Amino acid sequence: MDLTQDFTLLLTLIVSCLILYVSIKRFWSHGNLPPGPAPLPLLGNVLEIGRGDIVNSLMKLSEKYGNVFTIYLGSRPVVVVTGYKLVKEIYLDNGDDYLNRGEMPAWTAFYKNYGLVFTNNIQRWKELRRFSVSCLRDFGFGKRSIEVRIQEETCCLVEELKKTQESFIDPHQCLSRAVCNILFSVMFGTRHEYEDKDIDTVVSCINESFVIASSAWGQVYEMFPGLMRFIPGRHQEICHLLNKLNQYVDNRVQMNLKTLDPNNPRDYVDAFLIKIEKEESNSQSEFNMKNLLASTLQIFFSGVETIGTTLVYALLVLLKYPDVIAKVHEEIDHVIGRNRSPTIQDRNYMPYTEAMTHEMHRFTDLLPMGVPRKTLKEVKLNGYTLPKDTNIFPMLTSVLKDPTCFKYPTEFNPENFLNEKGEFQKNNASMPLGAGKRNCLGESLVRMELFLFLTTILQNFNLKSPVAQQELDITPNVSGLGNFPKPYKIAFIPR
């Protein structure tokens, strides 16, 4: 063996020992965290997390280690929290202690801490959240004006579905375009025709990036972000897709800028641009173009993906349960009839349909792991002391399937939201999009859309599957960051 080989071997041995030492030291430094499976140096608990199915892997670990335990994603410790009582403590009871955003390498690498959804700058989040809530309320969130916009879009959707002439189609693009148009109108002041290439590009980029981030590739990226940045694979497409979306948003912002009337804001982008102009002399202002682009894209992305995927999943579930469709049809015919559009007010007289939409949100379980949080200071949780900046996974799936909160925790059944008299009954454990100060900004819009879209579709159509009912598989296709329905075909038969 020559000197070069000796030197290379010695260098490799030294570097390996240093890496092992640093890794072990880092694990020891978190020795007071809740117990969990023993991590391997550098690899963490990769062996305990099933490929592409981190959610079920974590839920199985909770059976062994309890409702609060620690796993290591690579060398990064994360405290996993399950069950309604403890997740509620993080979101609501002691929510201020967990306001910081947990690490999400696939998204933070792109947004670089800008915007209101993924930032862990609390002051930035507070200012942008306060502005966005007020602004979106001004443009119709929670008001009659947004309801009218949704009704108009549901009419467009019905006409589009009639054009399919009862043929079997993949419903994803059609439903997502309709949902996308609601957000277009709020964020940019306009809508697109369904044939427009721009809306197809936007819908495809949003869905594909979310699917990849939830896949095995995305999960490995979460564990080893430093390494995975240099390794080819599907995870590399996330940044490319987000760049395409960001370019679209940037183009829309520039269009608004050219026709901006400071005295007459038309949409969210206009209002933000006016705010930037008002605070241009404040060098510390959070109202700048970087936060405008990031916040607009994050709100738009979240709104489209949340309701779009839930609607697509909902129709698959309804195909599986024709008895549920029959009961909803009966209520629609009795309360609304066939000659007018459904309204939000109708919910008060349609307890079964209202229960069905809430159950659909619970059962589809869109964000099973929640969105990661991080402690703002040292906190006590279930008898454990968590240091400041501890990453937390509040497992929403464990809340939505908590047997102490729901009569039928693992199956789809609207009776989870009905009392013994058949009346709709709210359930505090129904938090599919989280809860508390940092919950989904557009939750009221999402619930409104789900009711109006599903009720309008069922008012106008019977649903038909090309395969037998028993062959329909309603288990999720991906179980990572998000749950997605398996691909399916459906025909819309006019009633």
If one counts every other C-beta atom within 10 angstroms of the C-beta of residue 402, the result is 16
Going residue by residue through the chain (495 aa), what tens digit of pLDDT does each one get?
Answer: 454 544 444 444 454 444 544 444 444 445 579 999 999 988 899 888 866 689 999 999 999 999 999 999 998 999 999 999 999 999 999 999 999 999 988 888 899 999 999 999 999 999 999 999 998 888 766 556 889 999 999 999 999 999 999 999 999 989 999 999 998 888 888 888 998 888 999 999 999 999 998 888 888 888 888 888 888 888 899 999 999 999 999 999 999 999 999 999 999 999 999 999 999 899 889 999 999 999 999 998 888 888 999 999 999 999 999 999 999 999 999 999 988 999 999 999 999 999 999 999 999 999 999 989 999 999 999 999 999 999 999 999 999 999 999 999 999 999 999 999 999 999 999 999 999 999 888 888 889 999 999 999 999 999 999 999 999 999 988 767 889 999 999 999 999
pLDDT for 240: 93
pLDDT for 24: 47
pLDDT for 16: 46
Rg (CA), the chain: 24
Q: At what angle do helices 172-187 and 197-214 cross, to 10 degrees?
A: 110
Model-level pTM?
0.90
The CATH-assigned architecture of domain 28-494 is Orthogonal Bundle (1.10)
Tokens of 231: 């390794």
The owner of tokens 């792991």 is 369
Tokens of 467: 């395969």
Q: What DSSP string describes 139-151? A: TTTTSHHHHHHHH
8 Å CB contact between 139 and 186? yes
If one counts every other C-beta atom within 10 angstroms of the C-beta of residue 151, the result is 16
